Amino acid sequence: MTRRAPGEHPAPFRIVGRPLPRFDVADKVQGTTLYAADWRLPGMLAGRILRAVYPSARIRRISVEKARALPGVAAVLTADDVPQNALHEDPTGLGLSSFATPVLAADRVRYQGEPLALVAAESEVLAQAALEAIEVEYEPLPGVFDAGAALAPDGPRVHPDRENLLIHWKLRQGDVEGAFRRAAAIVERTYRTQRVDHAALEPEAAVAWVDGDGVVTIRAATQVIEHFREIAEILRLPHNKVRVQAPFLGGGFGGKEDMTVEPYAALLAWKTRRPVRMVWTRQESLLARPKRHPFTMSYKTGATEDGRLVAQEISLLADAGPYPLLSPRVVFAALVVGCGPYRVPNVKIDARAVFTNNVPTSAMRGFGAMQVTFAYESQMDLLADQLGISALEIRSRNFLRKGDRLPTGEALETQAALPHITARAVEALGERSRPSAPSGRVGRGIACNMQPYGRTVWFRDRAQAWIGFEADGALVIRAGVTDLGGGQAASLAQLAAEVLGVSPDRIAVHIGDSALTPLAGGTFATRQLYMSGNAVVKAAGELRAMMIPVAASLLEAAEPDVQFADNHAGVIGAPKRTIALARVVKECGRRGIPTALLSGFQGEHAAPIDLETGQGRTFPDYTFGCHAVEVEVDAETGAVRVLKLAACHDVGRAINPQSVEGQIQGGAVMGAGQALMEEVALEAGINLTTLFAGYLIPTAMDVPDVRPLVVESGEGKGPFSARGIGEPPTGPPPAAVAAAIQDAVGVRLTDLPMTPERVFDAVRARPARPEHEARGKV
Amino acid sequence: MAGAAPLRVRFVLNGSSVDVWAAPHETLLAVLRDTLGATEVKYGCGEGVCGTCTVLLDGAPINACLLLAVQAAGRAVTTVKGLGAEGHLHPLQRAFVAHEAAQCGFCTPGMLLVAHAFLADHPGPTRDEIRSAIAGNLCRCTGYTRIVDAIEACAGTGKGARGEPASR
Amino acid sequence: MDETLALLARLPEAKILAGGQSLLPMMNLGLAHPGAVVDVNGLPGLETVTEDGGGLRLGALVRHRTLETSPLIRRRCPVLAEAASLIGNIRVRHRGTLGGSLAHADPAAELPLVAVALGATLEIRRLGGSREVSAAEFFRGYLLTDLAPGEMLTGVRIPASPPATGYGLAELVRRAGDFAIVAACAVITTDGAGACRHASLAIGGVGPHPLVMRRAEALLAGGPLTDRRLAEAADAVPGEVAPESDVHATAAYRRAMARVMASRALAQARARAAPGPGRPA
């Protein structure tokens, strides 16, 4: 499954690169893993949120007396009960603006489902009764429900003190006007992507309590334990009096990156001085938990006669809901990779996010870079059509190479093995399938993408890790990472095992506790392997450097000849000369040499980009990929079935190939779902998709076997030259499927999801032509 | 019905008798998780579509969130902890580990039970038949391929086979 | 049974709990707060599947899983088995019941559609009485049936199908197991020589309940079962349906798909109605 790119060196690793079973999977198959909602404490109350019914309204009156008087109700809180009812944000991270988001809405509601009040009661049933006993008098107000309309200067404002434009990022390079005048082919289209829900199988959940030292502790399904600071601010407590623990998550995908239940559970626990469990219902989660941004993307792309890109003029518009959350950063990522993995000398991009009264939008796997993939890859195919060259050919002529300048002016510092990646994906499709019915049409398509990994370099990203030996030679790692299911914890053990020679089954990993594990930054932005992986390798390396001389002295060997492997220190080339690592540990103790240490990895840092031109350093690096897809379209109904999906990514080095392949498979299926069936539909701010039965994510019958193809170019900025893989696989499927549909029935869809009805309508609208034959472009 | 007197419910859970009080409106899911501490059975949607609350009722997979606890009276309920003998992993569990058919693991208990019930009746299924059998158990992490691999690897071993020791 | 009926008579606001696959979600979502629930799962005699002349009699508590797997049903009435196999997921099918699905009357559900197409008869009982109603008359509107308070569905009778009868079932679903956007069920009886003696065609998802396509049926009856005739019958369908637009599909699309599904169901039915003696639907 894993083959090397030309020029790669084989890796001389013992542990890294092996498909080791993950320690957490053994617990998960036995059902012993305790997720956030599984934690039980004596006297635990049930916490619930009262949510706004209207998307835009004034709250005239909110009355909680009746609710408070119900038996078994321990607390009912409104905005007045929140010590600091504001989350202060710097939405861009550049200090350009500040924003205060209410924790509980006080006099104004800005989206359907906005939290208004909290209850804690002895049981879920009693909590529900208390919610129903709270009286709210609303005065519905006009709202802003269309991102385009939000930009109109005289329309309603979501916030009284500011305009609806949240952010406008700009990128300017070269001269697009001149370039278009000289272009041989120009394609202009507008693409739309939809609101998507993360739909992790685990709903948002936390148990909060005040411990014996008065520390408000929240054990939450969260991707970011660092939120303890925000919770402390809300409660007006010192930061060291709030503690966030993150158990293994039942999926995150960015939906648990912002705070969800944490501040509410904390407030109730702090107020009642009793443990409080808050688990959102699935329907509540679908209603109100922030979604992936819907994007409207207008692209004008110009190329020479032989298909070389000369200019991209792009306008991106994202619906940010009423509060900033991570919207500016999502749109920034879209800006940076808006042209895709191609050389383009002249670029003009305007990327905007606007406030509306629709459901909030924030981080989701792919983070802006996912949406633009649909646009830039579709443009490549349309240009190829116009110029009469193949989809493969036009891409080959424009693929970025190491050293090329990106539209932001920075040079690409690592290899972009795109020709190899693309060839692997295409080859994996094999023979073209035959249609399964007379109305079936088979088509194929490809799409390439680039996804940043690591946070924007202005953020001074940092991750710490503590590593130490026990007296018996076992190893302990403490790192504040959170494990979403992608093997974040297990990968740290695999890395430490490689460096220190402790077998993985003798390594204990403690993660996700803001009081006890050194902070590592959250699990998002495909940063965890890059940041914490490097931190662990660094710490392990520093520890090893201290212990090698001691081992050498015990073994009576020269330091360069000493190796740590299989829980022993040994002499290279002399298999009989070994001693247990435990002995080395003991000797270190005797000599006063530490066998544990804390270290940290500092991510790359650079000054922020120029705000007018978008020029400057942005992300540390990128992961490149290509997916090849074969579909069968039922020409009579428009239904699309994915027959084959091959997904290839260059991960630099696969620390655990099995986990890497699993991420690729899962991400590709998530992308396929967004291509064909997922949508959170809103109408005038009212969410129509609040049943899980109505939010369609792929089942096992909706996708074929996904062939994950791993390329290891040996160049990446993560540990042992690895690159991140969490987000990249979600990007290509929509564009690849759109290309395959065009190959099958001759229509190019520009709106996601590509439902049967949309395909059907497009086919009906297609100008009459002879029976369409697959053009065999792939 | 909220507020009505609790009823006594006796049933068998993973081979052991249990005797609990349940409100008439309480679901089996709520009683399993909150009264009996069987948190391996998950809440995922309350609609019967996600599969995380799957238990076997007299060997048949059902939605625990859609059964009133009182309806379990006199029946045998099996959760993932009832798969395999004590201290030993069931072959399906071993296969899931070997094939990394679980990432976040939240869908895994339900998935294992449905797979177990399916294989008991279908010893030599095709991959498509396996996909059809697990179509009602949603997974958001793995993309299903590895889950099908693991179930296919187990097909033919039959139920009751002893597994390997359950330690890591 | 009498005790149950007495309870239902005494507590008209009570909800019947059979499979629970429709009632429990509504309770979990807070959309239903029944003051009382009558669990009918233990009632003897309601889960039987018996031969009835050449047809079948099914108790209201027959589970979808039984409909799907019973050898008798698969032989005598394969369309019923096929329809049941399309419902929800395996867990739902282990608990969900025939009677429950019919009483719930979702316009896009498979079993109401098939019951109408097969000309099934529903047995209804109340304290002190019983009655029968045809499936076509049973479904009154969106989630609305002929059942009065205190009444309970107890059984379904499927008539015998004459020799040379074939059925077809075609549905358009977003994902396997979802409620159909549009579904069609056709039953065609031939004279053994390629002509149609009787045709039955019902469509679901295009109105508040399954709709019988009388014009299409009339077009087919008595004539040759040619491709052209089948196409004419399918073309008559859009004019006979009254779909509405919703978040899943527009009215125009449902109308167009009604024709496509009808066409497919008719083709399947014709193909299965092989000439020769004694071949059941």
| pLDDT confidence of residue B4 | 78
**Beta strand residue intervals within A490-573, DSSP E:** 507-511, 562-565, 568-571
Same domain, yes or no: B34 and B90: no
A-chain residues within 8 Å CB-CB of C175?
677, 696, 698-699, 701-702
Q: Is residue B34, in this structure, part of any structural domain at all?
A: yes
CA distance C227 to A164: 59
CA A32 to chain centroid, in Å, comes to: 27
Is the Cβ–Cβ distance between C138 and C146 less than 8 Å? yes
Q: Is residue B162, in this structure, part of any structural domain at all?
A: no
Is the Cβ–Cβ distance between A673 and A696 less than 8 Å? yes
Same domain, yes or no: B74 and B111: no
Q: How far is C125 from chain A (nearest CA, A)?
A: 33
Q: Is residue B165, in this structure, part of any structural domain at all?
A: no
What does pLDDT average to over chain B?
A: 91
Give the contacts of A375 (CB within 8 A, at least 6 positions apart).
A189, A191, A297, A299, A314, A338
A50 touching C, CB under 8 A?
no
Rounded to two decimals, the pTM is: 0.95
Q: Is A618 exposed, middle or buried (0-12, 13-18, 19+ CB in 10 A)?
A: buried
Domain total of chain A: 3
CA distance A23 to B168: 7
Q: Given the structure tokens 């399918």, which residue do they identify?
A: C234
pLDDT at A429 over 90: yes
Q: Is residue A776, in this structure, part of any structural domain at all?
A: no
Q: Which of A567, A482, A481, A485 lies closest to A532 in space, CA to CA?
A: A481
Q: Is residue A504, in this structure, part of any structural domain at all?
A: yes
CA distance A191 to A377: 11
Range of the domain at B64: 7-82
What does pLDDT average to over chain C?
A: 93
| pLDDT confidence of residue B168 | 29
pLDDT at A663 over 50: yes
Q: What is the CA radius of gyration of chain A?
A: 27
Same domain, yes or no: A213 and A265: yes
Same domain, yes or no: A376 and A395: yes
Q: List the beta bridge partners of residue A440.
A: A634
Q: Is residue A210, in this structure, part of any structural domain at all?
A: yes
Same domain, yes or no: A118 and A223: yes
Same domain, yes or no: B14 and B26: yes
DSSP for residue C276: S
| pLDDT confidence of residue C274 | 72
Domain end, chosen from A543, A573, A602, is at A602
Cβ count near A572 (within 10 Å) = 13
Q: Is residue B2, in this structure, part of any structural domain at all?
A: no
B138 touching A, CB under 8 A?
yes
End-to-end, the C-alpha distance of chain B in Å comes to 46
Cβ count near A404 (within 10 Å) = 14
**Residue B25's CATH number:** 3.10.20.30
**Residue A216's CATH number:** 3.90.1170.50
pLDDT at A681 over 80: yes
Same domain, yes or no: A476 and A370: no
- ipTM score of complex: 0.95
Across the interface, of A283, A636, A701, the residue whose CB is closest to C176 is A701
| pLDDT confidence of residue A97 | 85
Domain total of chain B: 2
Is the Cβ–Cβ distance between A231 and A84 less than 8 Å? no
Same domain, yes or no: A269 and A129: yes
Residue A236 tokens, joined: 């007006």
Domain end, chosen from A602, A617, A632, is at A602
Q: Is residue B89, in this structure, part of any structural domain at all?
A: yes
pLDDT band at residue A7 under the 50/70/90 scheme:
very low
Q: Which of A763, A200, A735, A670 lies closest to A447 in space, CA to CA?
A: A735
Question: What's the half-sphere exposure (Cβ side, CA atoms, 13 Å) at A72?
Answer: 16
Percentage of residues of chain B with pLDDT beyond 70? 90
Query: How many contacts does A have with B, using Cβ atoms within 8 A?
Result: 175
CA distance A293 to A361: 5
CA distance A299 to A307: 17
Cβ separation of C89 and B137 shorter than 8 Å? yes
Same domain, yes or no: B121 and B68: no
What does pLDDT average to over chain A?
A: 95
A677 touching C, CB under 8 A?
yes
B45 touching A, CB under 8 A?
yes
| pLDDT confidence of residue B156 | 61
Domain end, chosen from B82, B100, B126, is at B82
Q: How far is B22 from chain A (nearest CA, A)?
A: 13
B-chain residues within 8 Å CB-CB of C27?
25
- Of A383-397, A427-441, A612-626, B146-160, which range is least confident? B146-160
Same domain, yes or no: A422 and A472: no
B-chain residues within 8 Å CB-CB of A692?
44-45, 47, 49-50
Residue C69 tokens, joined: 């797997």
Percentage of residues of chain B with pLDDT beyond 90? 86
Q: Is residue A259, in this structure, part of any structural domain at all?
A: yes
Query: Any idea what the Cα angle at residue B135 is, between residues A34 and A726, rounded to 5°?
Result: 55
pLDDT digits (tens, 9 = 90+) for C77-89: 999 999 999 999 9
| pLDDT confidence of residue B166 | 34
Q: Given the structure tokens 């993985």, which residue do they identify?
A: A504
B109 touching C, CB under 8 A?
no
C174 touching A, CB under 8 A?
yes
pLDDT at A113 over 70: yes
Give the contacts of A438 (CB within 8 A, at least 6 positions apart).
none
Q: Mutating which of A696, A757, A764 best tests the C interface, going by the most C Cβ atoms within 10 A?
A: A757
Beta-strand pair A295-303/C165-172? unpaired
Same domain, yes or no: B89 and B68: no
Q: List the beta bridge partners of residue A564.
A: A569
Cβ count near A681 (within 10 Å) = 14
B1 touching C, CB under 8 A?
yes
Domain end, chosen from B23, B56, B82, is at B82
Domain end, chosen from A227, A244, A279, is at A279
Q: Is residue A81, in this structure, part of any structural domain at all?
A: yes
Helical H segments across A65-214, by residue range = 65-69, 124-133, 147-150, 176-182
DSSP for residue A735: H
B-chain residues within 8 Å CB-CB of A33?
105
CA distance A569 to C114: 74
pLDDT digits (tens, 9 = 90+) for A358-384: 999 999 999 999 999 999 999 999 999
Q: How far is A299 from chain C (nearest CA, A)?
A: 29
Cβ separation of A32 and B40 shorter than 8 Å? yes
Q: Is A647 exposed, middle or buried (0-12, 13-18, 19+ CB in 10 A)?
A: buried
Across the interface, of C24, C89, C94, the residue whose CB is closest to B60 is C94
Q: What is the CA radius of gyration of chain C?
A: 19
List the chains bordering chain A where 3 or more Cβ pairs fall under 8 Å.
B, C
CA distance A648 to A629: 11
Same domain, yes or no: B68 and B105: no
pLDDT at A54 over 60: yes
| pLDDT confidence of residue A775 | 46
CA distance A726 to A223: 13
**Residue B134's CATH number:** 1.10.150.120
pLDDT band at residue C279 under the 50/70/90 scheme:
very low
**Beta strand residue intervals within A481-590, DSSP E:** 507-511, 562-565, 568-571, 574-580
**Backbone torsion region of residue A228, taken as left when φ is above 0, otherwise alpha when ψ lies between -120 and 50, otherwise beta:** alpha
Q: Is residue B168, in this structure, part of any structural domain at all?
A: no
pLDDT band at residue A748 under the 50/70/90 scheme:
very high
Same domain, yes or no: A75 and A60: yes
Collapsed DSSP state (helix, strand, coil) of residue B88: strand
pLDDT digits (tens, 9 = 90+) for A202-240: 999 999 999 999 999 999 999 999 999 999 999 999 999
A-chain residues within 8 Å CB-CB of B102?
25, 28-29
Same domain, yes or no: A588 and A616: no
pLDDT band at residue C35 under the 50/70/90 scheme:
confident
Is the Cβ–Cβ distance between A774 and A746 less than 8 Å? no
Range of the domain at A473: 462-602
**Residue C234 to residues A539, C112, C115, C170, C254, Cα–Cα distance (Å):** 72, 21, 20, 13, 14
- Packed helices A488-500 and A534-555: angle between N→C axes, nearest 10 degrees: 30
A698 touching C, CB under 8 A?
yes
pLDDT at B86 over 80: no
Across the interface, of A283, A677, A760, the residue whose CB is closest to C174 is A677
Q: Is residue A707, in this structure, part of any structural domain at all?
A: yes
Cβ separation of B51 and C89 shorter than 8 Å? yes
pLDDT band at residue A768 under the 50/70/90 scheme:
low
| pLDDT confidence of residue A776 | 45
CA distance C5 to C8: 5
Report the residue of chain B nearest C14, measured CA to CA.
B1
Q: Mutating which of A18, A29, A664 best tests the B interface, going by the most B Cβ atoms within 10 A?
A: A29
Q: Given the structure tokens 């509405």, which residue do they identify?
A: C244
pLDDT digits (tens, 9 = 90+) for A148-161: 999 998 889 999 98
Same domain, yes or no: B75 and B92: no
Mean pLDDT throughout A695-719?
A: 97
Report the residue of chain C nearest B44, measured CA to CA.
C28
Domain end, chosen from B21, B51, B82, is at B82
Q: Is residue B161, in this structure, part of any structural domain at all?
A: no
